[in-house]
Amino acid sequence: MACSLPNRYQVMMIDVTDQGWVYNPMTQPGSGVGEREDAIAGVRNVQVAGRYILGATESRAFENLGKDTNQVDAYFLLDTKLGRRTRFQNYDALRHSALELGIEPN
């Protein structure tokens, strides 16, 4: 299942709805989705704010596939216009950067 996001980005989930990929299908080689500057795996939470996508990820989401867990161990801010993401180790760092852009994280 895929859902459209700003600037042709998509969120895709396969077999589960608790984690997936945020990516730009126009920059992916071939028919698969791979980790790139503009693609994020293991996405647990997403917030769209104009051209920005904020979210939380779990680096071991695929290992925990099908388990009843919703762990988060990193955060990201993706500028869909520039195709660039910034990773954060904690929510406070993400919040600080988002607020500088005029975005209130939810």
Distance CA 57, CA 36 (A): 15
Q: What is the pLDDT of residue 41?
A: 84
For residue 67, the Cα-to-chain-centroid distance in whole angstroms is 20
Q: Read off the pLDDT band of 98 (50, 70, 90).
A: very high
Structural domain boundaries in the chain: 2-100
Q: How far apart are CA 100 and CA 2, in angstroms?
A: 30
Q: What pLDDT, on the 0 to 100 scale, is given for residue 35?
A: 74
Q: What is the reported pLDDT for 53?
A: 93
pLDDT of residue 40: 86
Distance CA 24, CA 42 (A): 15
Q: Read off the pLDDT band of 68 (50, 70, 90).
A: low
**Please, which residues have CB within 8 angstroms of residue 92's CB and are 6 or more apart in sequence?**
none
Nearest to 11 by CA among 43, 38, 37: 43
Among the listed residues 62, 79, 80, the one whose alpha carbon sits nearest the alpha carbon of residue 71 = 62
Per-residue pLDDT reduced to its tens digit, 5-63: 878 888 777 766 667 878 888 887 777 777 777 788 888 889 999 999 999 998 775 56
pLDDT, residue 38, reads 79
